[in-house]
Structure 1
Amino acid sequence: MLILSSCNRTSIQDEFTTYFRYNEPDGIASLDPALASYQSAVWATGHLYNGLVELDSSLNIAPCIASSWEISLGGTRLTFHLRPDVWFHTDTCFIAAGYPEGARTVTAHDVVFSIKRIYDGSAKSTGAWVYRDRITSVAAPDDTTVVFTLSAPFAPFLALLTMPYGYIVPHEAVSFYGDDFGQHPVGTGPFMFKQWVPDVALQLQRNPNYFKVDGKGDRLPLLDGVTITFLRDTKSEFLEFMHGGYDMVTSVDASIAPTIYDANGKLQPRYSDFQIFRSPALSVEYYGVLLDTTKPGARHSPLATNKWLRQALNYAIDRHRIVAYVLHGKGIPARHGLLPPSLPGYDSTVPGYNYNPDEARRLLAKAGYPNGKGLPTLVLQLGNNPRTASVAEAIQEQWKEIGVSVELRQVDFPQHLSQVRAGELELWRTSWIADYPDAENFMALFISSNQSPAGPNTTHLVHRLLDSLYQEALKPGYSRAERSALYAQMQTYIVDEAPWIFLYHDVIIRMAQPNIHGLTVDGTGRLQLEHVVKSSSSLPS
């Protein structure tokens, strides 16, 4: 396993001018796509792997490892035809398996292996819910053909395959590295693993055998590599960016944000030489509430069994003020359900929670806690991110105004996520970023069969009518408008049950050095570096 033990930062700067450098303050626990359930891991695995299909620049399904496909039997059979020129990264695992060149091409059998390890439990994947009860079989009748048989038609199935849980891995690497595969990844992507200094940096290098070319016929990627650091302090991260140490920055500490952005999220004149990229995110930020009283986090929680209390907390938040003064315009208040405004199917008529402290106090009294009397201090847990801490501090003050006391607790994000999935927390902060641009991907968070840790329903909401509407919307024959109407009904019930404290929809803002070309941003928040070029021009003066 190629894991460097040195903590010398110079070991990640050897090819400084030709590597794209960015920072991940939340860290990365594993590079196994089976475990890529949070943004930093999704970005990193996106550099290393490919799936059968992908999202193009317009967020439409496009060929990738598969060159074509057909859908038959009323939407229950999908047949994919693979490209013959896709190679896995050169790696020792292939030499050990009898391939003297140290690499081999992808076959249909690799697809079968990769998909099955997600849903059969062997990879302990956080994405088992994606395929569970949907795939009856996946088979390879020959080396270049893969056939999926579904238990029932599922309109977004192609979109599911664009997720990290649809990435293709070689069985030789999984067998050779065993539990350490996540620390020594082998894929087909534009970049391949080079070295990982724990808690310092991860370095990827250009894959010389990548199968894609650009419009000029030049083989991609155009960079020599990628360096990802794990600097926790976002103030230091921005200072490093200002001195040219990073090519892009996505996290700006809340305490310095007003000096960088104006109230509309635009760059202040001092920083106008840098590039800025903006896009409404297909995401929602929220505080989750555990409703399952059999889990340790909810056994003694007043939130778990008191819908009026949860509604009161929602009404007590001034989302517009938080977006304007804490996020400095980098957000959209979540006032109409859970779907972001930029997502097809968003419905502004869905009722939500406006700031109404009087209604919050009325519901608090109805819940049995007039002016907060008798209500124990709530514990809200967050990851170690300065921006989410600033939002939580603002909400802590707003809840205090109606008599609700809350203690804030911060832990490292991987630990935080593990505790959320294990049902150890009564109230926590997280976000959901669309895996693909379909409202179904958000509705799946509230389906009974998707309860964590096997699925994304971390609140453990159980609502049979929601389950029924969700299944109805997946039936073939519905137009997008008809499916959207069903999802709007679902949102009405979700808002009423209030398993979340709805906060805001993110606005993605990335700053880049002026010598970076080809960088793009879209609502999925993905980071694509295949077409990025880093020129040698100087930094802004």
Structure 2
Amino acid sequence: MRKLLASTAFFLVLLLWSCSNDKNQDHKNSNETKGGVYIGGFLRVNEVNNIKSLMPIAINEVASYHLASQVYEGLVKYNQMDLSIMPGLARSWEISADLMEYTFHLRSDVKFHNDPCFKDSLGRNLVANDVKYCFENLCSKNVNNSQYDVTFKDRVEGANDFFAESKSGKVRTFRGITVIDDSTIKIRLVHGDANFLNILAMPGCYIYPREAEQKYGNEMHTKCVGTGPFYIETIKEGEAVVMKKNSNYWAYDKDGNRLPYLDGVKWTFVPDKKTEVMEFRRGNYDMIYRIPVEMFHDIFGEMQNGKRSLDFDIYSSPALSTHYYGFNLQTNPFFSLKEIRQAFNLAIDRQKIADYTIKGEGRSADYGMVPYTEVFEKMGYDYKGLKGYKYNPDSAKKLMALAGYPDGKGLPSFNLEINSGGGDRNILVALVVQKMLKENLGVNVNMNVVTWPEHIDNIQSGKSDFFRYAWIADYPDPESFLTLFYGKHVPANYLEKSYVNFGRFKNKMFDSLFVSARSEPDKAKRYKLFSKAEQIVLDEAACMPLFYDENFRLEQKNVRNLPENPMNYIDMSTTYLIPKKK
């Protein structure tokens, strides 16, 4: 029945697509041009999780990030080949010697998408005041604002005061942002920060026009007006999104071809991974990522058995992504006991989960929350000095007894909340963890499976005491993982949402090291401080790291310029499709 429903959903999505374009024409319109690239055609991709919001300041999960990155842009963006910073809306910038002042020079040829929010529905030119307006919104209290904590808070001069006064109704002044002229804007920081360009590449720093927010308000979760290579023509929440080429896009390639090459992108939201893989192999998708555990060896077995006739390409790399189980330390009296959290960590055989449950689709989380990355280690991150949790059920039992619950006696059952979608991996891992906690500690764990939007809301609102989550780096730096434990991200009122520190962990020593690391200009010293901060997270057992992801992407052989990278960052502005061989 599950497969039938998934296939039916896919069929309905195809019907929606056909209202915009005949899917059989998606690749037939591509024509070769200067430099050997091809212009035209629609790229077809799928997200297994529905988008929650495409409003830049509200983006907090990967599906929304993937879509929004094609519609919006920031001052800078990532090179998807190596994740280096490259110019975006800013053509150039200067950074002061003390790393406290950043001056950006905007491009003069950037226009917002044509949209009814403008006079005559024609998009106007971007100016520096648009950037200022968006950054002021980023630093204003809003129930949907999940980006402030991980971007300008405690970084940009005056951001904290601007945020605190955002509900006052008074005219506010943002001290750290100065508009010099229409094409120049200056940002002053609280302390020197060599990582600030990475922060500006985050979705919370995407730029949109004042007119869009005035017209659409909260409808901006789907009403998108940006400057990116594509605009949204059709959106049917939970089913499909059709993006079209922005014919006024500012970028050109080295041969003088105007970007983007594609006519558009068609997204679906089929949650069943098996259906997704099946449709990919039928040629109905051009790219998918993450292969279901159940199909992993079937696909790779074809290669291992000498069958080299795969009609698609496979790309892989270690991901900057950690899967973990979180504890709510603020509202659950049992998880407030460090001994119980430590016992849970020691009772889990991570290597067994990596080898037999996810079958090589990830690596056991032996270090902590920051995935092992050779680049981080070379820059000074002390992975070898970190003391994580090796499987030790005997020590786990002793800690439970020390906490006053020998063999789990007296403990209530716990509800582990996991999200649906993405194949069976979440459930398979949860079943194994459930069994290990029962056998090794006598702890009863019940599973509660909810939809992704409900899961996100429950975690942020503190309604889930024990929950599954995966954190993908917002930028290639250990800080992006350790910010999950920064105490200042926890709201003073426990009834308010905690957008980043989901477990509501607080530790003064961690906060001190974290803040010191963020303001340290020397990268080697900075990474040493971060690794010391992570050891505190491990000692306190603030969460249960399970495994580090491996990125696997499947692409049809006619897809070009869609490289895989550790953050799974996607920029489709230079992607193109060559004609399929008959």
Report the TM-score when normalising by structure 1: 0.92
The answer (yes or no) to whether the contact 1:260–1:271 under 8 Å persists in 2 is no
Are 2:43 and 1:20 equivalent residues in the alignment?
yes
Are 2:38 and 1:38 equivalent residues in the alignment?
no
Which residue does 2:494 correspond to in 1?
none
**124, 148, 165: which one aligns with 1:104:** 124
The answer (yes or no) to whether the contact 2:52–2:59 under 8 Å persists in 1 is no
- Counterpart residue identity of residue 202, structure 1: V
Which residue does 1:490 correspond to in 2?
533
Deviation at residue 247 of structure 1 after TM alignment: 1.0
SS in 1 for 2:471: strand
- Counterpart residue identity of residue 112, structure 1: K
SS in 1 for 2:574: coil
Deviation at residue 319 of structure 1 after TM alignment: 1.3
Deviation at residue 420 of structure 1 after TM alignment: 0.5
Residues 122 and 405 of structure 1, relative CA distance in 2, 3 Å threshold: closer
Counterpart mapping for 1:513-532 below 5 A: 513-532=556-575
Deviation at residue 158 of structure 1 after TM alignment: 1.3
Are 2:211 and 1:175 equivalent residues in the alignment?
no
Stretch of structure 1 that moved more, 417-426 or 527-536? 527-536
Which residue does 2:350 correspond to in 1?
319
- Counterpart residue identity of residue 371, structure 1: D
**356, 377, 391: which one aligns with 2:392:** 356
Deviation at residue 493 of structure 1 after TM alignment: 0.9
Which residue does 1:121 correspond to in 2?
141
Which residue does 1:67 correspond to in 2?
91
Deviation at residue 527 of structure 1 after TM alignment: 1.8
**409, 413, 421: which one aligns with 2:460:** 421
The answer (yes or no) to whether the contact 1:332–1:507 under 8 Å persists in 2 is yes
SS in 2 for 1:93: coil
Residues 493 and 278 of structure 1, relative CA distance in 2, 3 Å threshold: same
Residues 81 and 207 of structure 1, relative CA distance in 2, 3 Å threshold: same
Which residue does 1:302 correspond to in 2?
334
Which residue does 1:3 correspond to in 2?
none
SS in 1 for 2:54: coil
Are 2:378 and 1:373 equivalent residues in the alignment?
no
Are 2:490 and 1:451 equivalent residues in the alignment?
yes
CA distance in 2, matches of 1:267, 1:166: 48
Deviation at residue 496 of structure 1 after TM alignment: 0.9
- Counterpart residue identity of residue 257, structure 1: F
CA distance in 2, matches of 1:317, 1:123: 37
Residues 358 and 476 of structure 1, relative CA distance in 2, 3 Å threshold: closer
CA distance in 2, matches of 1:170, 1:310: 46
CA distance in 2, matches of 1:266, 1:59: 31
Residues 123 and 76 of structure 1, relative CA distance in 2, 3 Å threshold: farther
Stretch of structure 1 that moved more, 40-49 or 249-258? 249-258
Which residue does 2:100 correspond to in 1?
76
Any stretches of 5+ residues in structure 2 without a counterpart?
Answer: 1-10, 27-40, 158-175, 492-496
SS in 2 for 1:86: coil
Residues 23 and 268 of structure 1, relative CA distance in 2, 3 Å threshold: farther
Are 2:33 and 1:9 equivalent residues in the alignment?
no
Deviation at residue 72 of structure 1 after TM alignment: 2.4
Which residue does 1:470 correspond to in 2?
514
Q: Deviations over 1:165-186 (max 9, x none)?
A: 1111111111111221221101
Residues 104 and 123 of structure 1, relative CA distance in 2, 3 Å threshold: farther
Which residue does 2:199 correspond to in 1?
160
Identity of aligned residues (%): 34
Counterpart mapping for 1:80-479 below 5 A: 80-95=104-119, 100=120, 102-122=122-142, 124-129=144-149, 130-136=151-157, 137-262=176-301, 269=307, 272-293=310-331, 298=332, 301-303=333-335, 305-342=336-373, 344=376, 345=381, 347-385=383-421, 386-402=424-440, 403-451=442-490, 453=497, 455-477=499-521, 479=522
- Counterpart residue identity of residue 490, structure 1: A
The answer (yes or no) to whether the contact 2:382–2:528 under 8 Å persists in 1 is no
CA distance in 2, matches of 1:346, 1:20: 42
CA distance in 2, matches of 1:457, 1:324: 30
Deviation at residue 284 of structure 1 after TM alignment: 1.1
Which residue does 2:31 correspond to in 1?
none
The answer (yes or no) to whether the contact 1:34–1:123 under 8 Å persists in 2 is no
Any stretches of 5+ residues in structure 1 without a counterpart?
Answer: 1-5
The answer (yes or no) to whether the contact 1:340–1:346 under 8 Å persists in 2 is no
The answer (yes or no) to whether the contact 1:117–1:123 under 8 Å persists in 2 is no
CA distance in 2, matches of 1:196, 1:348: 48
CA distance in 1, matches of 2:78, 2:138: 21
The answer (yes or no) to whether the contact 1:261–1:328 under 8 Å persists in 2 is no
The answer (yes or no) to whether the contact 1:448–1:460 under 8 Å persists in 2 is yes
SS in 2 for 1:261: helix
Deviation at residue 217 of structure 1 after TM alignment: 2.0
Stretch of structure 1 that moved more, 72-81 or 16-25? 72-81
- Counterpart residue identity of residue 346, structure 2: Y
- Counterpart residue identity of residue 313, structure 2: Q
Residues 267 and 417 of structure 1, relative CA distance in 2, 3 Å threshold: farther
SS in 1 for 2:317: strand
Q: Deviations over 1:465-516 (max 9, x none)?
A: 1111112112344x22211111121111110111111111111101111121
CA distance in 2, matches of 1:538, 1:389: 40
CA distance in 1, matches of 2:368, 2:13: 48
Q: CA RMSD in A?
A: 2.1
Counterpart mapping for 1:503-514 below 5 A: 503-514=546-557
CA distance in 2, matches of 1:87, 1:142: 17
Residues 235 and 58 of structure 1, relative CA distance in 2, 3 Å threshold: closer
- Counterpart residue identity of residue 144, structure 2: K
CA distance in 1, matches of 2:73, 2:236: 24
Stretch of structure 1 that moved more, 482-491 or 356-365? 356-365
Which residue does 2:165 correspond to in 1?
none
SS in 2 for 1:34: helix
Stretch of structure 1 that moved more, 337-346 or 480-489? 337-346
Residues 101 and 427 of structure 1, relative CA distance in 2, 3 Å threshold: closer
Stretch of structure 1 that moved more, 448-457 or 466-475? 448-457
Q: Deviations over 1:423-468 (max 9, x none)?
A: 1111101111111111122221111111263541111111101111
CA distance in 2, matches of 1:381, 1:203: 32
Deviation at residue 41 of structure 1 after TM alignment: 0.7
Q: Deviations over 1:322-366 (max 9, x none)?
A: 112222211111111221112513623211011222222222222
- Counterpart residue identity of residue 466, structure 1: F
CA distance in 2, matches of 1:450, 1:179: 24
- Counterpart residue identity of residue 17, structure 2: I
The answer (yes or no) to whether the contact 2:13–2:240 under 8 Å persists in 1 is no
Stretch of structure 1 that moved more, 79-88 or 353-362? 353-362
CA distance in 2, matches of 1:455, 1:443: 14
CA distance in 1, matches of 2:305, 2:250: 38
Stretch of structure 1 that moved more, 164-173 or 74-83? 74-83
- Counterpart residue identity of residue 398, structure 2: R
